[in-house]
Amino acid sequence: METKLPFLHAERSRFGVTYYYVRVNRGRRIRIKGDFGTPEFLAHYHEVVAAEAPPPREANPSVHPGSFGWLVKEWLKSADWSAAAPATQSQRKAFLDQVVTTLGDVPLRAVKRQQLLDERNHRRETPCSANNFVKTVRALFQWATERGLVEENHAHRVPFIKIKSPGYRPWTMEEVETYRKCWPLGTRQRVALEVLLNTGLRRGDAIRLGPQHVADGVASIRTEKTRMEVHIPILPTLQEAIQKGPIGDTTYIARWDGKPMGRDSFSMWFHEACTVAGVPGSAHGLRKTAATMMAEAGGSERELMAFFGWSTTSQSQVYTREADKRLLAARGAERMRDMFMRQDR
C-alpha cells in the first residue's frame, strides 16, 4: 500500500491494525511510532528518513558540459522549469537528485533507453513513483531535444508501469453522508469535506483557499498545477460549513491553532478523519465525485474545464462520456420496459 510521504509504506495486520514503516531505497524497514499524522508520528518519520537516507552528494561546481548532470543543472535554470507548479518542481527535483548520483557524470550521448529503464525499474515496487519518474525524465529530455542538446528523447521509449488500480475512486453519496454524520457541522473535518466536494479543487489548492479569494459569493483562485484561474460559486452547503467553522485566519481548511496546513500533514489528517468515519475515500476522490455529479447533471465539457481548471477536453470527456453512457443506458432500459409492457397486453 503506497502513501503520500516518500519511503513510507502502510501494512495492515491480520487483526486489522495499520502500521507504518519507512524503507529508504533497499535499506532496512523501520516502524514509525505514534498515531498516523500526529506531530509525534511526523517527527519520528523525518528523524528516520534523515538517518537512513544516503548522504547528499557533494555539490560539484565543475559539472562537465555535455553530461547528464550538466543537463539537469541547465534545466533547473530554465524558464521551462520556473513555469512548473511548485509541487511539480519539488517532485521532479527529488527524482533528478537521485538520478544525478548515478548518471551525473555520464555523457548525454551515452544516456540511452536502457539506463533510464533501469532507473524506472529501481522504483517498480512503488509503480506510481516509477511512473512519475518517467514523466520527469520525459519532460527533461523533451526540453533538451527542443533546444538541440540531444538528438533523441530516449525517455519516450521508456514505458509506464501498468497499474492494476483504476486510481483514486470517486466517493459515493452514501459515503459522503456517512462522513457527514461522523463529522457534523462545527468540526474542522466537516469544513475540509465541504471545501473539497463543493469546489472540486485539488488538495494543494483546497488548503490555500480562504476568505481573501472570495468576492460577491464567488471564489477565484489560480490553480497550482495548470496555472489557470478558476471561478467557483460558493454553494449553500459550503457557505454553511464555513459559517459554522472552525476556519483559519487565511484558509478555510486549517490546523487546530488556525494556521494553514501543509500538503502532507493535510493528507494524513484527512485520511485519519476518513478512517474514523469508516469510509475509504481520499481528497482527490472527492474531486472525482464533484466532476461526476456535474457531468451527470448535464454539465458540458467546457463547463467542466472551466470549473475544474483543466486545460484540455481530454479530462472532461472522461466524465461527460460516462454520464452520457449512463443516460443512454437508462433510456435504453425504458424502451425495453415499454416493449415488454406492450407484449404483455
Q: Domain for residue 336, yes or no?
A: no
Q: What is the DSSP letter of 221?
A: E
Q: What is the spatial distance between Cα 133 and Cα 120, in angstroms, rounded to a whole number?
A: 7
Does 255 lie in the same domain as 178? yes
Cell numbers standing for residue 148: 538541440
CB-CB neighbours of 272 under 10 Å:
15
Rounded mean pLDDT of 325-343?
70
Does 91 lie in the same domain as 4? no
Q: Name the residue range of residue 223's domain.
A: 173-284
Between 2-6, 237-241, 302-306, the lowest mean confidence (pLDDT) is in 2-6
Q: For residue 2, what pLDDT is reported?
A: 43
The last residue of one of the domains, among 231, 260, 284, is 284
Q: What is the spatial distance between Cα 96 and Cα 167, in angstroms, rounded to a whole number?
A: 25
Does 246 lie in the same domain as 224? yes
Please write the tens of the pLDDT for every residue from 41-58: 888 888 888 787 665 554
The chain-wide mean pLDDT, for the chain, equals: 85
**DSSP H or E segment with residue 323:** helix 313-344
Does 180 lie in the same domain as 211? yes
Please list, residue by residue across 84-107, b when 16 or more beta carbons sit within 10 angstroms of its beta carbon and e when fewer do.
Answer: bbeebeebbeebbebbbeebbebe
**CATH number of the domain residue 80 falls in:** 1.10.150.130
Q: For residue 59, what pLDDT is reported?
A: 46
**CATH number of the domain residue 258 falls in:** 1.10.443.10
Cell numbers standing for residue 203: 488538495
Closest CA to 141 of 125, 153, 127, 157: 153
Q: Domain for residue 273, yes or no?
A: yes
Does 214 lie in the same domain as 124? no
Dihedral sign of CA atoms 211, 202, 143, 93 in order: positive
Q: For residue 339, what pLDDT is reported?
A: 65
Q: Domain for residue 19, yes or no?
A: yes
Does 4 lie in the same domain as 44? yes
Name the 3-class secondary structure at 259: coil
Name the 3-class secondary structure at 317: helix
340, pLDDT greater than 70: no
- Residue with the bigger pLDDT between 166 and 153: it is 153
Rounded mean pLDDT of 302-329?
75
Q: Prior bond to 246 cis, omega within 30?
A: yes
Q: What is the spatial distance between Cα 257 and Cα 62, in angstroms, rounded to a whole number?
A: 47
Q: What is the spatial distance between Cα 223 and Cα 211, in angstroms, rounded to a whole number?
A: 16
Q: Which residue has the cell 416493449?
A: 339
Does 67 lie in the same domain as 51? no
The last residue of one of the domains, among 255, 284, 313, is 284
Rounded mean pLDDT of 270-290?
89
Does 73 lie in the same domain as 150? yes
Q: For residue 38, what pLDDT is reported?
A: 81
Does 227 lie in the same domain as 199? yes
Most confident of 82-91, 183-192, 257-266: 183-192
The last residue of one of the domains, among 146, 165, 184, is 165
Rounded mean pLDDT of 163-179?
83
What's the structural domain count of the chain?
A: 3
Name the 3-class secondary structure at 232: strand
Q: Domain for residue 345, yes or no?
A: no
DSSP bridge pairs for 221: 230
Does 235 lie in the same domain as 157? no
Does 217 lie in the same domain as 180? yes
The alpha carbon of 198 is separated from its chain's Cα centroid by a whole number of angstroms, namely 18
Q: Domain for residue 320, yes or no?
A: no
Closest CA to 199 of 180, 181, 216, 221: 221
Q: Domain for residue 302, yes or no?
A: no
Q: Domain for residue 305, yes or no?
A: no
pTM of the model: 0.58
Q: Domain for residue 101, yes or no?
A: yes
Does 70 lie in the same domain as 115? yes
Amino acid identity, position 127? P
